[in-house]
A = this chain, B = another copy of it.
Amino acid sequence: MAPLIVDIHTHVYPPAYMQMLRARKTVPYVHDPADGATPRLIILSSDDDASIPLDQRGRPVDASYSDIEVKLAFMRRHGINSSVISLANPWLDFLAPEEAQTWAERINDDLEATCARVNRAADPENTRALHEKETLYAFGALPLSAPRAEVVVREIQRIKTLPHLRGVIMGTTGLGRGLDDGRLDPVWQALQETDSLLFLHPHYGLPDEAFGGPEAMNRYGHVLPLALGFPLETTIAVTRMFLAGVFDRFPGLKILLAHSGGTLPFLAGRIESCILHERKFVANGGDVPGPRRSVWDVLNTNIYLDAVVYGTAGLKAAVTAAGGADRLLFGTDHPFFPPLGKDDEEWPSVTTNYKAIHAAFDGEGETVAGVLGENAARILKLK
């Protein structure tokens, strides 16, 4: 019997969202070249470079981003049984305050309807086991630009009532000031009370200056912002949450970190050491509260990591930091990182992660099965 495979890191831009991006002229937006060539998706501020012709900015965006049939074909090609889809970055972060709630409800209702339709078609009587069919579940989007945190809280509570939603996805800016913002406490409270998993995902990267300025940054295409900017952003965001005592105040929070935690598993020891040596913290005689729990405790209790790290080195750090492989979950990052050759082949961005998981846990069949799908099925209660 083939193992159950669940993809917990896979994105969509529903058609309504794409239409909204097409009407925009500033990041994020979609541009349709006049010559009928593939539309361009311009989502990163570094993509919107005036020195690049509009028809070449950003990246080509094809049906794989919004057509759920294309995702189902991708799943079949890679042996994936179930995908937990999420709105891709930058989600609803950029919306005007008065539009946020409407769009969140629209997107989440759309995700719920899509999952329901696909799952009914795959198994009308719902009698087959998870590894015998193709199913979809989803993480909901949040109206983070809404005028009040209560709007976000209400949407978290409403998402909990949608049968195919299994948590929420969020970027690193929170309500605009980062994840150590005290105004987020009602949001953490709501996530904890509803036992909703938060999928924390990067988008904003690092300031261009971190890479030597825009020219140096763009010299190598998307490599610096995607390979380094994204994971470093995630690491900074979750470290700020931790330093601000969020995990002390909300010990029941469950957070899934994209890209195996950015670099958190690798840096956890250094973070812990720097905290123990920081004179400013109360525990060391200073006047700043500082975190009460250790990074290791939080990694072993509150954090889940996807296995999207493209190598055994990263996976070994992830599983060691997380205190075991049962907190590690397979993902693909589809539809990003498509093969640059033929479209109908296996995606190297996916097979690299498959191979790494098998190599890192060589001979440990149960561990491999856990990472590939059983962990996700258990943690997200997939049926």
Contact = CB atoms under 8 A, between A and B. Distances in A.
B277 A340 contact: yes
Interface residues of A, number: 70
Nearest to A299: B313
Interface in A203-256: 206-207, 209-212, 216, 219-224, 226-228, 231-232, 235-236, 239-240, 243-244
A352 B269 contact: yes
Contacts of A383: none
A349 to B, nearest CB: 6
A367 to B, nearest CB: 15
Contact of A220 (B259, B290, B348): B290
- Sorted nearest first, the 4 A-B pairs with minimum C-beta distance are A269-B311, A269-B310, A221-B280, A317-B317
17 contacts: A206-B210, A207-B209, A210-B210, A210-B232, A211-B240, A220-B288, A221-B278, A221-B279, A226-B274, A227-B274, A228-B267, A232-B263, A235-B263, A265-B266, A265-B313, A267-B314, A270-B309
Interface of A: 177-178, 180, 206-207, 209-212, 216, 219-224, 226-228, 231-232, 235-236, 239-240, 243-244, 259-260, 263, 265-281, 284-286, 288, 290, 309-314, 316-318, 320-321, 337-338, 340, 348-349, 352, 356
